[in-house]
Amino acid sequence: MEYIDMHAHMVSRTTDDYYQMALTGCVAVSEPAFWAGWDRTSADGFEDYFRQLTEFEPNRARQYGIRHYTWICLNPKEADNREMARAVLARIPKFLAHPNVLGIGEIGLNRNTRNELETFKDHVDLAAEHEQLILIHTPHLEDKYKGTRLTVETLQSREQIAPHRVLIDHAEEHTVKMILDAGFWTGITLYPNTKVSAQRAADIIEMHGAERICVASACDWGPSVPVAVPQFALEMRRRGHSEALIRRVVLENPAQFLRQSGKFELALKQPKPLEAATVN
By beta-carbon proximity to Zn ion, the closer residue of 34 and 232 is 34
By beta-carbon proximity to Zn ion, the closer residue of 18 and 247 is 18
CA 88 → CA 31, 85, 92, distances in Å? 18, 5, 7
Contact track, Zn ion, 158-177, x by CB under 5 A? --------------------
By beta-carbon proximity to Zn ion, the closer residue of 76 and 247 is 76
By beta-carbon proximity to Zn ion, the closer residue of 122 and 220 is 220
CB of 8 to Zn ion, least distance (A): 8
By beta-carbon proximity to Zn ion, the closer residue of 172 and 247 is 172
Judged by CB under 5 A, the number of residues near Zn ion is 1
CB of 159 to Zn ion, least distance (A): 28
CB of 134 to Zn ion, least distance (A): 14
CB of 276 to Zn ion, least distance (A): 45
By beta-carbon proximity to Zn ion, the closer residue of 7 and 165 is 7
Instruction: Quickly list H helices, the chain.
Output: 15-23, 43-51, 57-62, 82-89, 93-96, 114-129, 144-156, 176-181, 198-208, 228-238, 243-247, 253-259
CB of 245 to Zn ion, least distance (A): 25
Structural contact between residues 254 and 4, judged by C-beta atoms closer than 8 angstroms? yes
* Cβ-proximal residue to Zn ion, closest one: 34
Give the separation between CA 197 and CA 132, rounded to whole angstroms.
Answer: 31
Residue 237 neighbours by CB distance under 10 Å: 15
CB of 106 to Zn ion, least distance (A): 5
Q: Footprint of Zn ion on residues 22-51 (CB under 5 A)?
A: 34
Structural contact between residues 112 and 145, judged by C-beta atoms closer than 8 angstroms? no
**Going by C-beta distance under 8 Å and a sequence separation of 6 or more, which residues neighbour residue 84?**
40, 42, 43, 74, 78
Give the separation between CA 152 and CA 178, rounded to whole angstroms.
Answer: 8
Q: Footprint of Zn ion on residues 80-99 (CB under 5 A)?
A: none
User: Cα 73 to chain center, whole Å?
Assistant: 13
Q: Is 255 helix (H, G, I), strand (E, B) or coil?
A: helix
Give the separation between CA 278 and CA 129, rounded to whole angstroms.
Answer: 59
CB of 136 to Zn ion, least distance (A): 10
By beta-carbon proximity to Zn ion, the closer residue of 34 and 95 is 34
Would you tell me which residues interact with Zn ion (CB under 5 A)?
A: 34
